[in-house]
Structure 1
Amino acid sequence: MKKPPRTLKLGRPALRLRMTFGVMAFVLSLFAGRLILLQGVDPDSYALAATKENTKPFVLHATRGAILDRNGVPLSVSEDAVAITADPTQTAPVAAQLASLLTSKIPGTTYAKFYADLTLKKRYVLLAHQVSPQTWNQISAEIKKQNAAINEQNKGKPAEAKAPLLVGLFTESDPIRSHPLGSVGASVVGVVGDEGKGLAGLEYGLNDKLSGSDGKAMYEVDTKGNKIPNADHTVEEPKPGVSAQLTLDSDLQWFAEKRIEEAVKQWKAESGTVVVMDVKTGELVAMANYPGYDPNKPLKGQSLKNNALEQVYEPGSVQKVVTMAALADANKISLDTKLEVPGSITVQRRKIKDHFDHGVLKLTIAGVIAKSSNVGTIIASREMPIPQFVKYLHDFGFGEPTGLDFPGESRGVMPQGDEWPELTRSTVAFGQGLAVNAVQMTAAVNAVANGGVYVPPKLVKNYVDSNGNDIPNPAGPSRRVVSETAAKEVATMMESVTADGGTALQAAIPGYRVAGKTGTAQETGEGCEGYCKWATSFAGFAPADNPRFVTYVVLQNPTNGRGGGFQGGPVFRDVMSYALQKYAVPPTGAKQPNVPLTW
């Protein structure tokens, strides 16, 4: 029996139609829900997200504050310059021409580096830092000239045959640091690196104050990342840095640098330093070092240290000024003190001599200073208990920070504790066995010149904001370290150093009373055992009876002779004379006291 043939049953059209409409309604409801969410429920967050997708941040660099001398003369300032950037997606077709142009206009650059950067697979590349506006104008003019020639050649050609134009270079503000006086004060001021941050000196130490705060701009950009003209943007304005006005006098600084350079070369020394301090205020009006450097020129291995604060050494006999001031304040000595001084003295089995051979000398205490007798100083120092002596040294600033907060500054080296062996006390009394920096030693001598009152050194006089308003920079508090009577007695002893019979006639200044002290100290050094080098120095003040300035001169390891009087004395005389004349300090007219050196 045969089966009946199969037949295809047709679907129900009404059901299919209803299902189609249902699916369409569901999809449309999803779109409607999304639209309600975007426009009604939370439109702001989605608008913000869309804006972020189409905006680009740009840094607005703050103007770096200047560094000025005490009279407002600029020592370090920021000048307009630009960073050249590129969009390699635009520059790749013309990379060869642009690389050649940039290399010809920017010294110290290479074609290969520019070409590689201009063909990178990215939208942004920094090509050159701190390019002067003049150089960029030359580059822009050459681009316009070449593009005009290209446009002329392209006339009448089909689009696919036209040569591409030189496009895709841009600029950003990138100020350059300039030093109008070149090397003057460079070791104090320091330098700024390519990234606009201080690398040494006050540029480093005051970087946060000088830098200010960068701002930020958010610009709408097109799909290629380019700014859209007249589109909305937001700007957070940069905050300019403050300027620092120093206590340095650029004229005196220049003279001191030239004079110490001459001395270093004359005596074949490794280096030299001159510090000049205002007696009453503690302001450092000169801080000169040689060798130095010119921060406007490429730095090739030069030391960026400020030796006046960063180098320590044993001060030698200049330290006797402090020893005698402490003894006088404690009533252990006076101008009437008389000593019998043998040619040598043994302390804890070590024999100590003077710098000159002699038998027993009958010296007054002024004679001990005038002749710079180590033996006489040791004998006098034994009158004071060691802990009391140590306290005086700390009061005078030894082993303590100067308060300048200069980057890299050393606090010097003092023997630990206050129960020193007798040998330590003896050597420290005449300037061996402790280490100082030049500013510490200047400030200690300044306390004697200032009637026994220690004034903390000061280097930054005040700050100046972007509106020209002064912001005070108060110094630390002064303190009395010895009595006025003791200070005057020591000043009188020091005057004998520059008079007949003293060790530094070369430091005398005609018409002025000058108080001073020589120093010649042994030092350790690399490549030898024990003491193998020397530091020679001279410290003094004038007018001795009404002091205005203290000047301290140090030569490190002179190899063409050795002596604080004939090496440091003439530098002191010339620098001090310059300072007295510039600041119109007249001689007092008083006669130098006639203090006997022997008895």
Structure 2
Amino acid sequence: MTLRLGRPAVRLRVTFGVMAFVLSLFAGRLIMLQGVDPDSYKLAASRESAKSYILHASRGSILDRNGVPLAVSEDAVAITADPSQTRKKAKEIAEILRRKLPESSYSKLMAGLTKRNSKFQYLARQVTPKIWKEIKAELSEKKLVGVYTAEDPVRTNPNGTIAANVIGFVGAQGKGMAGLEYGLNNELSGKDGKAIYQVDSRGNRIPLANHTVAEPKPGVSAKLTLDRDLQWFAEKRIEQAVKQYQAEAGVVITMDVQSGEILAMANYPTYDPQDPGKTPAAARTNRALEQVYEPGSVQKVATLAALADAGLISLDTKLSVPGVYPVNGVRIKDHWPHGTLKMTMAGVMAKSSNVGTIMAAQTMPKAQFVDYLHKFGFGEPTGIGFPGESKGLLPPGDEWSELSRSNVAFGQGLSASAVQMAAMVNSIANGGTYAPPKLVKDYIDANGIATPAEAPPSRRVVSEDAARQVTTMMEAVTGEGGTAELARIPGYRVAGKTGTAQQVDPKAPQKGYTKWATSFAGFAPADKPRFATYVVLQNPTNGRSGGTQGGPVFRDVTSYALQKYGVPPTGVGSPKVPLSW
């Protein structure tokens, strides 16, 4: 059989035709890439070979008034993985990480290292540089690739639990979750930046390739008005009182009289901001601002100051005060059930007479009384800027019955926070001028430039003469025959007021008034006030007296402040005023 070959000319023409067709396809594609829409293809290619990184902004610190750090961010890293590189060696990598990071879950590490259709997975957060250095060395030794890091600072509290209820804490994502960490989160956080780098086919950064970087903007630091040392002492002292009198909770606040700056805001119970989850939520609140209650007899300071300012009472005012006084059919009692006492207004304050206070308050129109209470800050936010602050409750005057006015006069029928009560008493110490309480003193940027924090303006509430008269009445409280002799500070004149108030249990309001709050407020030196301190114990079950329970706490905390700031002793005794006639 003879094999016949095709004609060479035909075969050649077919071959050239096929080659021309293939080359035309390449040419068309080249025209599309370079002529028709080159930018979009260039961008797509760039995206395929680019990798972006978040550049975390450094979080600002929280400092005390002297620059002592209360909350700071320390260097740490987040460990990340590119699963396209780690998938084949996932078990070896996971074993190394699990050994160095015992709190990590092996199953979660494996899930991150083997994730399909992903080139970025978080494996661990806030790992110290020391631990990462050990991990990196072991990965390099075994030539395991695909594990990277990104800056991920960790928040620490160098002074432990001091001011924890005020400062709050930061969550795992680096955001404030409570307290000032939450309330000032925008200022403290700053603004993250971003870097985009060209990478090779294995995801490694190409050193000399083009890259773009948007630098992060650091957060500002907040310098508080708190004094770390005084805060520590106040916290220890209120803890001791809560335990001694078996109370549910306690608060101490100390203010600088003229500026309104809060030097101490102590809460107990408290918690560890490094491990907040192990403490009940109630212990993490800042009761000084978030909890309101009926304040009791400390309220008489505001009532008598308003009456004195309006010219309705003076130190010379005399009352015949019965032990029981009917108002709208309700019998209101003093702590002496029988007989009538002839009392001066100083005596009404010194003996904490509910009836005497009501009798005096009835001379003032309700609307005028309500106006004074608003000026003292009741029913209004303080402007301190703390998240979750309660403004308390002050019912409108047109809703008051005569019984309501009588109850409010001695501290029942309205609610207030401890800071509101401290600011009210501070107004008397400040000569009748309300200085809004301040907790943040300055904001400090990354260059160290300080900007004072904004605060509401001060306002006059009562005249200097009215404040002076009430101060004299309050000095009688700590004097002989008053209800708070235990609040005296040797060498200093002390003005004060006790409080013991019934409370409704919020967990069982249907049962009515089943709990108590005891308190003491005062300032020293009374003749030239420098510090005002307010103490409250919630539901003490081992005794119930503002003078014997709150008075000693006031004495100790205020004494500490006077000594630390070098306030000289008064040198003269308190004026002698008659309590009866």
TM range (shorter): over 0.9
What is the aligned counterpart of 2:217 among 232, 239, 243?
Answer: 239
Tell me how far apart the structure 2 counterparts of residues 548 and 242 of structure 1 sit (CA, whole Å).
31
> Could you tell me how far 1:99 is from its partner in structure 2?
2.5
Which residue in the other structure is 1:111 paired with?
Answer: 106
Tell me how far apart the structure 1 counterparts of residues 108 and 341 of structure 2 sit (CA, whole Å).
76
Which residue in the other structure is 2:135 paired with?
Answer: 139
- Write the letter of the residue equivalent to 2:123: L
- Write the letter of the residue equivalent to 2:498: T
Alignment of 1:516-555 (within 5 A): 516-525=496-505, 526-527=507-508, 529-555=511-537
What is the aligned counterpart of 1:578 among 551, 560, 570?
Answer: 560
Q: Secondary structure at the match of 1:127?
A: strand
- Write the letter of the residue equivalent to 1:430: F
Check whether the contact 1:390–1:418 (CA below 8 A) recurs between aligned residues: no
Which residue in the other structure is 1:305 paired with?
Answer: 285
Check whether the contact 2:72–2:157 (CA below 8 A) recurs between aligned residues: yes
Tell me how far apart the structure 2 counterparts of residues 451 and 335 of structure 1 sit (CA, whole Å).
17
Alignment of 1:146-545 (within 5 A): 147=142, 165-297=143-275, 299-303=277-281, 304-525=284-505, 526-527=507-508, 529-545=511-527
Name the stretch that deviates more: 218-227 or 516-525.
218-227
- Write the letter of the residue equivalent to 2:427: A
Tell me how far apart the structure 2 counterparts of residues 56 and 123 of structure 1 sit (CA, whole Å).
9
Tell me how far apart the structure 2 counterparts of residues 85 and 52 of structure 1 sit (CA, whole Å).
20
> Could you tell me how far 1:340 is from its partner in structure 2?
0.4
Gaps of 5+ in 2: 1-6
Q: Normalising by the residue count of structure 1, what TM-score does the alignment of the two structures yield?
A: 0.91
Is residue 2:104 matched to residue 1:124?
Answer: no
Is residue 2:61 matched to residue 1:81?
Answer: no
Tell me how far apart the structure 2 counterparts of residues 421 and 594 of structure 1 sit (CA, whole Å).
38
Tell me how far apart the structure 1 counterparts of residues 91 and 119 of structure 2 sit (CA, whole Å).
18
Name the stretch that deviates more: 468-477 or 379-388.
468-477
> Could you tell me how far 1:136 is from its partner in structure 2?
1.4
Alignment of 1:17-96 (within 5 A): 35=30, 38-39=33-34, 43-96=38-91
Q: Secondary structure at the match of 1:170?
A: strand
Q: Secondary structure at the match of 1:533?
A: strand
Check whether the contact 1:276–1:287 (CA below 8 A) recurs between aligned residues: yes
**How many residue pairs were aligned?**
569
Q: Secondary structure at the match of 2:398?
A: coil
Post-superposition CA distance 1:38-59 (Å, at most 9, x none): 4457644543333223212211
Which residue in the other structure is 2:3 paired with?
Answer: none
Post-superposition CA distance 1:422-454 (Å, at most 9, x none): 000000000000000011111111111100101
- Write the letter of the residue equivalent to 1:537: S
Tell me how far apart the structure 2 counterparts of residues 285 and 24 of structure 1 sit (CA, whole Å).
88
Tell me how far apart the structure 1 counterparts of residues 159 and 181 of structure 2 sit (CA, whole Å).
16
Tell me how far apart the structure 2 counterparts of residues 167 and 217 of structure 1 sit (CA, whole Å).
21
Which of structures 1 and 2 has the bigger CA Rg?
A: 1
Distance 1:42 1:115, change over 3 A: closer
Name the stretch that deviates more: 117-126 or 279-288.
117-126
Tell me how far apart the structure 2 counterparts of residues 107 and 334 of structure 1 sit (CA, whole Å).
71
Tell me how far apart the structure 1 counterparts of residues 41 and 203 of structure 2 sit (CA, whole Å).
21
- Write the letter of the residue equivalent to 1:594: K
> Could you tell me how far 1:138 is from its partner in structure 2?
2.5
> Could you tell me how far 1:26 is from its partner in structure 2?
8.9
Tell me how far apart the structure 1 counterparts of residues 501 and 207 of structure 2 sit (CA, whole Å).
71
- Write the letter of the residue equivalent to 2:242: V
Post-superposition CA distance 1:161-189 (Å, at most 9, x none): xxxx4333221111000000010011111
Check whether the contact 1:386–1:419 (CA below 8 A) recurs between aligned residues: no
Q: Normalising by the residue count of structure 2, what TM-score does the alignment of the two structures yield?
A: 0.93
Tell me how far apart the structure 2 counterparts of residues 336 and 29 of structure 1 sit (CA, whole Å).
113
Post-superposition CA distance 1:465-523 (Å, at most 9, x none): 00000112132111101000000000000000001000000100000000000000000
- Write the letter of the residue equivalent to 1:396: F
Tell me how far apart the structure 2 counterparts of residues 120 and 44 of structure 1 sit (CA, whole Å).
32
Name the stretch that deviates more: 184-193 or 31-40.
31-40
Post-superposition CA distance 1:377-423 (Å, at most 9, x none): 00010010010000000010000000012111000011134351100
What is the aligned counterpart of 1:558 among 540, 550, 563?
Answer: 540
Name the stretch that deviates more: 37-46 or 269-278.
37-46
Check whether the contact 1:498–1:515 (CA below 8 A) recurs between aligned residues: yes
